[in-house]
Structure 1
Amino acid sequence: MRAVIQRVREASVTVAGEVVGAIGNGLLILLGVCHTDTAEDVELLAEKIAQLRIFSDHEGKFNLSLLDVGGAALVVSQFTLYADTRKGRRPSFTAAARPEIAAPLVDAFAAALRARNIPVATGVFGAMMQVALINDGPVTLVIDSAELRLPRRAGSRVDS
């Protein structure tokens, strides 16, 4: 499961001219589901995102999480996060989960955030969506559940 998370002042998603989800301060989460993802990936990624300290404290340091600031999440499914562009000019999406697998996992991810007391709005799975946002920072991160399972590389920690 792969997420592109953007810290936002506000974000919304529109389908067929109608706003179907909107948030104020929080995170826009573009979520891709891989064909090998499971409920374990859902929980791992939801916990990481809920606790990730990417909001500034009163000193301007990244010390606060989405939970700490009382922010919301806008979850938008995006299978294109699993594009393979290594060959040819047209991306391949064979690593992305099929809709019958992906849709329940996207719903489970939104539910996992709600279970952590995070207000969640969503897009519409499989729909053509227009996403609007006002970045805050900007702060944009890519998090992959497969990488969260890997041991930290030696020297990868920066002490400050």
Structure 2
Amino acid sequence: MIAVIQRVSESSVKIDGKIKGQIGIGMMVLLGIEEADGEEDIAWLSRKMVNLRIFSDEAGVMNKSLLAVGGDVLLISQFTLHASTKKGNRPSYIKAAKPEVAIPLYEKFIASVEKDLGKPIQTGEFGADMKVALINDGPVTITIDTKNKM
């Protein structure tokens, strides 16, 4: 799994012109799922995300987690994170999981984050044409690949 995590002061996702999900302070997360991903990736990434210390403390130092600040999550599925651009100019998405594999993992990831965070999260819609808006606070953007834990 690849996650692009952006610390936001606000973020939203629209589908067909209607807001599907919206948050204030927290993380807007783009999530790419590949065929090799599984339960271990879900658990590890979920814990890592909610405990990632990217929010400022009283001294202005990034020392607080999403849990500590009571922030929210807007999670957006994005298979293009697994694009390969090694050959030619047209990206290949061969590593991205097919919907029959990706959707159940995406749903399990949502449940895992909600459990670790202790509250519901906001999401887009898997496979939909989405319009994502955000105000990146900092800016702070962090990429995590569960295949590169060490």
Question: If the TM-score is normalised by the length of the shorter chain, which range does it land in?
Answer: over 0.9
CA distance in 1, matches of 2:108, 2:75: 11
Contact in 2 for aligned 1:84/1:91 (Cα 8 Å): yes
Q: Give per-residue Cα distances to partners, 1:28-67, cap 9 Å, x unaligned.
A: 0000001100011011100000101000000011110000
Matched to 2:147, the amino acid is A
Give 2:121's aligned residue. Answer: 120
> Where in structure 2 are there 5+ consecutive unaligned residues?
none
In the superposition, the TM-score normalised over structure 2's length comes to: 0.97
**Shift, 1:74, TM fit:** 0.3
Matched to 1:120, the amino acid is I
**Shift, 1:85, TM fit:** 0.2
Matched to 1:88, the amino acid is G
Bigger-Rg structure (1/2): 1
Give 1:13's aligned residue. Answer: 13
Q: Give per-residue Cα distances to partners, 1:91-117, cap 9 Å, x unaligned.
A: 000000001111111111111111021
Q: Give per-residue Cα distances to partners, 1:108-142, cap 9 Å, x unaligned.
A: 11111110214410000000000000111010000
* Percent sequence identity over aligned pairs: 52
CA distance in 2, matches of 1:6, 1:16: 24
> Where in structure 1 are there 5+ consecutive unaligned residues?
151-160
Moved over 4 A (4+): none
Q: How does 1:8-157 map to 2 (within 5 A)?
A: 8-116=8-116, 117-148=118-149, 150=150
Matched to 1:121, the amino acid is Q
Q: Give per-residue Cα distances to partners, 1:4-31, cap 9 Å, x unaligned.
A: 0000001000001111011110000000
Matched to 1:79, the amino acid is F
CA distance in 1, matches of 2:96, 2:7: 25
CA distance in 1, matches of 2:119, 2:39: 19
Number of residue equivalences:
149
The alignment partner of 1:87 has SS state of coil
Give 1:156's aligned residue. Answer: none
Give 1:155's aligned residue. Answer: none
CA RMSD of aligned residues (A): 0.7
